[in-house]
Structures are given as C-alpha cells and as structure tokens.
Structure 1
Amino acid sequence: MKTTLSKIVLLSLWAATTSLFADSHGDHDWKPLFNGKTLAGWGVVQGYANYYVEDGAILGRTAEGSPNTFLTTYEKYGDFELKFEVKVDEGLNSGVQIRSHSRDFGSRR
C-alpha cells in the first residue's frame, strides 16, 4: 500500500516538475529538474528507500525500518514556480520541501 502511494506522490511530483517549466510567458529560459530517463543530478538523503525511473516517472519504494528518505536535486535554483497534484491514501506520510538544506547528498546505507 505504501509503495503504491509513494508511486502516486512521486509521479505527481514528476508531472509538476515537467509542467513547472512550461513557458507560458515566452520570456524565460526554463530548465527541467528531471530528464524523464535517469536520476542523474538527484540524490538520496537520510534514509535508504529506493528511488528509480519507470515510464518517464520517478518512483519510490519504502524500506522497512528506514527513517524518512528524501530525494533531492544537487542543483541550486533561484526563482521558480511549483504546481502539482497529489493523490494519497489515509496514513501516508509524504511531502514536498522547498529550499531545504542537507549536510550530505549521499545515501547513508
């Protein structure tokens, strides 16, 4: 159940990042966060949940006993717009952090 919910949340986040950079004003150089193929430029922080790409979406699978696990970009971004939809089942612990800082971008396995 948690795996399915994680997939829904991550798929929604992927959809948000692709639509996030759709240039509606024609005067911006938008840069996508995710290439739809690999997790190049992304890293796992804190826990040891498994993140991977499937059918152009970022998916995550929870790991029993793992603390919260975060998937983060290595890049720093200035101004941005974030729009997304999320569908979750009751009891899911998930969220989006913006401008968070971490001491380590590597996985702690």
Structure 2
Amino acid sequence: MLQRTKIPLLLLLLCLLLPGVSRTLAQADGYEVLFDGKSVEKWRGKQSLNFPKKGWKIADGMLFLESSGGGDILTKEKFGDFELIFEFKLTEGANSGIKYFVDTLYKETTGKMMVNGPEYQIIDDYNYPGIKEDPNGLSSTAAAYLFYPPKNKTLHPHGEWNTGKIVAKGQNVSHWLNGKKVLSYQRGSKDFLEKKDENKFKDDARYGELEEGHILLTDHGDKVYFRNIQIKKL
C-alpha cells in the first residue's frame, strides 16, 4: 500500500519539476496537459474560436504575452470539478492571473458577453506599483482576487518559478502556492455574495456561480511566463 500511494506523488513532482515531461507521465496520474511547451491547440481567444495571431508567444517551452493586443485566452473545453496545476514566472512589476468558471453567452442586444469568474491572482508582490495600497492582500499573488487573501504563503521573487494550484469541488475552492494551501472558500455562499456586493463585480451576473466554465489566462499587458499547465477532472 505504501508504494502505491507514493507513485502518483512521484509522477506529479516530475510533472511539476521537469518542463519537458511527457504527456504519458502526466496522464498516468489522471492529468490532462493543457500546455505542453509546444502547442496551444487546447486554447482560443476570448472573442474567437482561434488562438490570437499576435500578443501571445511560445518559446523555450513557455507560454507568455510578448506584446499587447493578444487579449485574454481561454481553454476550448469547459471544466466543472477540477484540479489545475501550473508554473509561472513573473517579470519585475508584472500582473496577470488565472480565472475559472468563465463562459461566453449570447445577448441579443450586444452579441457575445463574458460571464466573468473568480481569479487566482498572479502579480509581483514586491514591485508592482500600488501593491502597498492593498494591506489586506486581496490583490496579491494567490488571492481570490478582491474576495479572499492568501495566508502564510511563500512567493518566489520575479525571475524565479512558482507553482500554483487551484482545486474546485462543487462549491468549494482552494488556492495553493508552492505546495501550501493558502486559502479556501465557497462559491455562492453568503460570505462570498456579501464580498461580491462590496467590490467591482457586484453587477456581474452569475459571477462564480456556473457549474462549469473555461480556464482563462488574462492579458494585463505584462510579461508573465507559464509552463506545465495541467488539469485533472475530479
């Protein structure tokens, strides 16, 4: 029994630590590779079914925003209960994030509209302009942006790799950073909705309430590197 419990953990560590790990190793523990360092076939633009022709770039096994104009990108597939793992490396003063339970709906008056979703914030806590104006940490790395701050986290500075994880099961969500769970909350709970009413998402219909949705990488115009993006359906 002891050996059986250690094998999946070893495979997961290999997937996280080795940028060139094969799909076979990742899938052996139930993970689907969303970005393997070469292909963006599982991603699309926010306003198009195709991947943006400018802005985003792949180089040296990494996905990053090279210039403005690429826009947000999201997975072609929607996910409900999931565990998402990823690595990110910030440049100095950079800002980005990963949203989940995001969807596009059709509105007769304006065409496509975006159903926004909770965000795992990714930002240079040490150098981003204005970060000191957020003493509660609601916009710091690994926060559920504007809702819940991370606790007892360890963020490696810009130029170094960090490992993030988002686990969503039913209404329960947790954020992890470099192997530590830093927050947990319930989507749609009384506390969640009260916090929503107090921030800029108060008028966003169905924010965080969808049963499934796309995973989205934000375009804030800053260069943040991503690699080893994998997801497991729970």
TM-score by length of 1: 0.51
Q: Which ranges of structure 2 fall in alignment gaps of 5 or more residues?
A: 1-14, 17-22, 106-111, 113-234
Matches for 1:1-109 after TM superposition, within 5 Å = 19=16, 28-46=29-47, 50-63=55-68, 66=69, 69-77=71-79, 78-82=81-85, 84-90=87-93, 92-103=94-105
User: Which secondary structure does the structure 2 equivalent of 1:52 belong to?
Assistant: strand
**Which runs of at least 4 in structure 1 moved beyond 4 Å after TM superposition?**
none
CA distance in 1, matches of 2:45, 2:60: 20
Q: CA separation of 1:60/1:85 partners in 2, compared to 1, >3 Å: closer, same or farther?
A: closer
Provide Cα deviations, 1:60-97, integer angstroms capped at 9, x if missing partner.
2222xx4x82111101233214354442423x342111
Structure 1 residue ranges without an equivalent (≥5): 1-17, 105-109
Name the aligned partner's letter for residue 63 of structure 2: I
**What SS does the corresponding residue of 1:33 show, helix, strand or coil?**
strand
Amino acid at match of 1:79: F
Find the aligned partners of 1:85 and 1:54 in 2 and give their Cα distance: 14
Identity %, equivalent residues:
18
Q: Which protein is bigger by CA-based radius of gyration?
A: 2
Kindly report the root-mean-square deviation, in angstroms, between the aligned alpha carbons of the 2 structures: 3.3
Deviation at 1:33, TM superposition (A): 0.9
How far, CA to CA, are the matches of 1:94 and 1:38 in structure 2? 21
Q: Which has the higher contact order (CA 8 A, sep 6+)?
A: 1
Q: Which amino acid aligns with 1:94?
A: S
**Greater strand content:** 2
Matched-pair contact (CA < 8 Å) for 1:42–1:71: yes
1:97–1:50 Cα change, 3 Å: same
Shift of 1:44: 1.7
